Structure 1
């Protein structure tokens, strides 16, 4: 049997993951079956099972793939120096989240809510997600320290608390965008300005 290239393997794996994301958004994590994913992928059952042994393995892969892709998009934004002002950075992060999550046929923001719920019963998912969000919060804390040194924050500001508030705002945007579906990154930035965050 001819061996397929790494590029083709990656493309096929992504094809299966995209089928899973479509099914998860339509039916939810628990109602979706492997047969649903096989049908939606257009591949044979043997091909799908050669990549993922079961649905739990596929759910974990879907989560790690989406978080990893999002991390790659956000690193240049968070790592930019000089650090953008707070409202500018928040708007930029949220715009990257929108650009990354809105796909043809599904929206990863809505699937994120399913993943958060599932993480409350699945320790592997919770540990994976927790590691991602803690690392992201640490990066936000580094940005807050830069803001404080540049006097964009009060000298007595606790950078750890600023990072926690920023993460809560960012995750809250994901929820609001997924459930109410009427919010944009620019509106969040303008709302912050209305609260007196003018930098």
Structure 2
């Protein structure tokens, strides 16, 4: 039997993840079964189980794949120098989140809410998410130090508190967009600018 190429393996894995995301978006994490995902993927049960042992394995893979994709897009925004002003950076981060999460037939922002809920019962999921958010929050803290040095934020600002507030704003956008469906990255960017955050 010919050996499948690495490129083909990655494509099949992504095909299964896309099927899982569609099922999770439609039915939720716990109602969705492996049979649902197998049917949606168009692959055989043996092919799907060759990549993922069970649904928990697939949920974790979907989460880590999403977070890795976001990391690729977001880290350059907060680590490249010179940094844009705070409102502009927030707008850019949210724009990347929107572009990454809006897929054909489903929206990863809605699935993110399911992942956050899952993290309350699954320590592995919680640890994975916490690691990503803590690392990103540290990068936001580093950005606030730069803004302080440039006079865009007060010199007395507590960068850790500011980073926590920025992360809350970013995660809040995900919730608001998923639940209310009437908010855009530009709305948040404009609101932050009009509140005068980072306009010192």
Deviation (angstroms), 1:198: 5.6
Task: Give the Cα–Cα distance (whole angstroms) in 1 for the partners of residues 28 and 66 of structure 2.
Answer: 17
Paired residue for 2:28? Answer: 28
Consecutive unaligned residues of structure 2, counting only runs of 5 or more, are none
SS at structure 2 position matched to 1:51: coil
Q: Deviations over 1:165-191 (max 9, x none)?
A: 000000000000000000011111111
Paired residue for 1:190? Answer: 190
Task: Give the Cα–Cα distance (whole angstroms) in 2 for the partners of residues 114 and 126 of structure 1.
Answer: 12
Aligned residues: 199
Paired residue for 2:179? Answer: 179
Q: Deviations over 1:56-114 (max 9, x none)?
A: 00000000000000000111111121111000000000000000000001110000000
SS at structure 1 position matched to 2:175: helix
Paired residue for 1:147? Answer: 147
Q: Deviations over 1:28-71 (max 9, x none)?
A: 00000000000000000000000001000000000000000000
Compute the TM-score of the two structures, normalised by the length of structure 2.
Answer: 0.98
Consecutive unaligned residues of structure 1, counting only runs of 5 or more, are none
| Structure-to-structure mapping, 1:84-103, within 5 angstroms | 84-103=84-103
| Structure-to-structure mapping, 1:72-151, within 5 angstroms | 72-151=72-151
Task: Give the Cα–Cα distance (whole angstroms) in 2 for the partners of residues 12 and 103 of structure 1.
Answer: 17
Paired residue for 1:8? Answer: 8
Task: Give the Cα–Cα distance (whole angstroms) in 1 for the partners of residues 73 and 151 of structure 2.
Answer: 27
Task: Give the Cα–Cα distance (whole angstroms) in 2 for the partners of residues 140 and 41 of structure 1.
Answer: 38
SS at structure 1 position matched to 2:63: helix
Compute the TM-score of the two structures, normalised by the length of structure 1.
Answer: 0.98
Give the conservation status (yes or no) of the 8 Å contact 2:152–2:198.
no
SS at structure 1 position matched to 2:152: coil
Structure 1 residues 149, 198: CA separation in 2 closer, same or farther (over 3 Å shift)?
Answer: closer
Task: Give the Cα–Cα distance (whole angstroms) in 2 for the partners of residues 162 and 134 of structure 1.
Answer: 14
